[in-house]
Amino acid sequence: MESIQQKSFLACDLASDLVYEDGIPVDVDKKFGAETADLIWDHADGLIIRRIKRHVDGRCSIAASLRFDLHEEELRLDEAISKFRALKAEVQ
């Protein structure tokens, strides 16, 4: 079983593969649509990893801490990983 940290890094790696082809940035908005592109860039830029880490480390408001659900975040990561793998398979 993978840890949430491993899943976060995997999602980031897969997203990075989708935004670059041979080191050249790809227009993911045009290729996958704006909503999917936003998700891809959030992971590729490491925004999701940082947000999860801040919540886990308690570097957020009490209200945000109370709303944070690690299991839910892990499910979101699983969905993103599945989506990125499917998109990667489509473009190869």
CB atoms within 10 A of CB 81: 19
Q: What's phi and psi for 71, nearest 5 deg?
A: -65, -40
β-pair type (24-25, 20-21): antiparallel
Whole-number percent of the chain with pLDDT over 90: 92
pTM: 0.91
Give yes or no for a contact between 87 and 36, defined as CB atoms under 8 angstroms apart: yes
Instruction: Please say if the pLDDT value at position 89 is more than 90.
Output: yes
Residues 6 or more apart whose CB falls under 8 angstroms from that of 85 comprise 14
